[in-house]
């Protein structure tokens, strides 16, 4: 109960701009499919700076709004980055018209995204269930859970570039039937993944051990 007001204010702000966050992710995937990783890097970097400055102004000084200020700063940064992503798509002349899909388009979309949606919902259900259980155990257990989940997210973020790399490079190679290039790309991705996981794991382990 003590955490409910702060958590509610954060959820209200983040929920209000959920559409912008989704638009940003879609635009990011489209930009990556064109093999343009520099433009998203600049936009996300700018949004991160805006978020940090917003946190300082709204949470620390002068307003000191706490969780509400943090949520507002994140919401503004998300709206900003989403707008720049859409602008980048428009400059590349690949910004699609927003309209209702036909039945065939919807069926084709669900054929591919249906299983992915099921996987996402399953993961989300698992995270929500774990958090609800941690909340029932008290504030200390909830704080420990939050720390642990942050470590998990830390690892997941390092795997995202490799996922984007695979999704960008492999489809065209598969369409061409270039088996040698496919194997070489997979080998490179797996090697990068193994080295990255070892490096990130070692750093995270040392941070946890030495505090």
Judged against a pLDDT cut of 80, whether residue 83 lies above it is answered with yes
CA-based angle 82:19:99, to the nearest 5? Answer: 95
Structure confidence at residue 155 (pLDDT): 76
Residue 3: the pLDDT is 67
Average pLDDT (145-172) is 81
- Convert the pLDDT of each residue in 90-147 to its tens digit: 999 998 887 888 888 888 888 878 888 888 899 889 988 988 898 888 888 888 888 8
Burial class from Cβ neighbours inside 10 Å (0-12, 13-18, 19+) for residue 90 reads exposed
* Residue recorded with tokens 């899909």: 101
Residues 169 and 35: their CA atoms lie apart, in Å, by: 9
Has residue 11 got a pLDDT over 80? yes
| pTM of full prediction above 0.75 | no
Q: Is the N-terminal amide bond of 62 cis, ω within 30° of 0?
A: yes
Q: Residue 74: pLDDT band by 50, 70, 90 thresholds? A: very high
Quick one: how far is CA 63 from the chain centroid? 28
pLDDT digits (tens, 9 = 90+) for 31-67: 888 888 899 999 999 999 999 999 999 988 788 888 8
Tokens of residue 31, six digits = 């930009």
User: What distance in Å separates the CA atoms of residue 151 and residue 130, rounded to the nearest whole number?
Assistant: 15
- Residue 4: pLDDT over 80: no
pLDDT digits (tens, 9 = 90+) for 61-71: 788 888 888 88
pLDDT at residue 48 in the model? 94
What are the CA-CA distances from residue 180 to residues 109, 155, 172, 176, 184 (Å)? Answer: 30, 30, 13, 11, 6
- Asked whether the beta carbons of 173 and 207 are under 8 A apart, the reply is no
DSSP state letter for 100: P
Of residues 39 and 199, more confidence is placed in 39
Q: What are the two backbone dihedrals, phi and then psi, of residue 82, each rounded to the nearest 5 degrees? A: -65, -45
* DSSP assignment letter at 32: H
Residue 1 above 70 pLDDT? no
| Alpha helices in the chain, H assignment, sequence order | 4-16, 18-33, 38-55, 67-91, 103-136, 139-176, 179-210
């Amino acid at each position: 109960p003590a955490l409910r007001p702060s958590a509610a204010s954060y959820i209200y702000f983040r929920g209000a701009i959920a559409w912008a966050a989704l638009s940003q992710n879609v635009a990011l995937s489209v930009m990556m499919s064109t093999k343009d990783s520099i433009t998203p890097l600049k936009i996300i970097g700018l949004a991160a700076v805006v978020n940090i400055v917003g946190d300082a102004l709204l949470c620390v000084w002068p307003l000191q709004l706490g969780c509400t200020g943090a949520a507002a700063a994140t919401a503004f940064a998300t709206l900003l980055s989403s707008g720049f992503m859409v602008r980048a798509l428009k400059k590349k002349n690949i910004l699609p018209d927003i309209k209702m899909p036909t039945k065939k388009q919807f069926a084709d979309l669900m054929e591919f995204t249906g299983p992915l949606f099921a996987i996402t919902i399953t993961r989300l259900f698992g995270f929500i269930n774990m958090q609800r259980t941690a909340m029932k155990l008290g504030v200390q257990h909830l704080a420990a859970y939050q720390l642990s989940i942050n470590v998990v997210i830390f690892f997941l973020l390092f795997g995202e570039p490799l996922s984007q790399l695979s999704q960008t490079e492999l489809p065209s190679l598969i369409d061409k039937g270039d088996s040698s290039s496919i194997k070489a790309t997979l080998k490179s991705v797996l090697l990068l993944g193994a080295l990255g996981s070892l490096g990130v794991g070692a750093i995270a382990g040392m941070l946890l051990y030495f505090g």
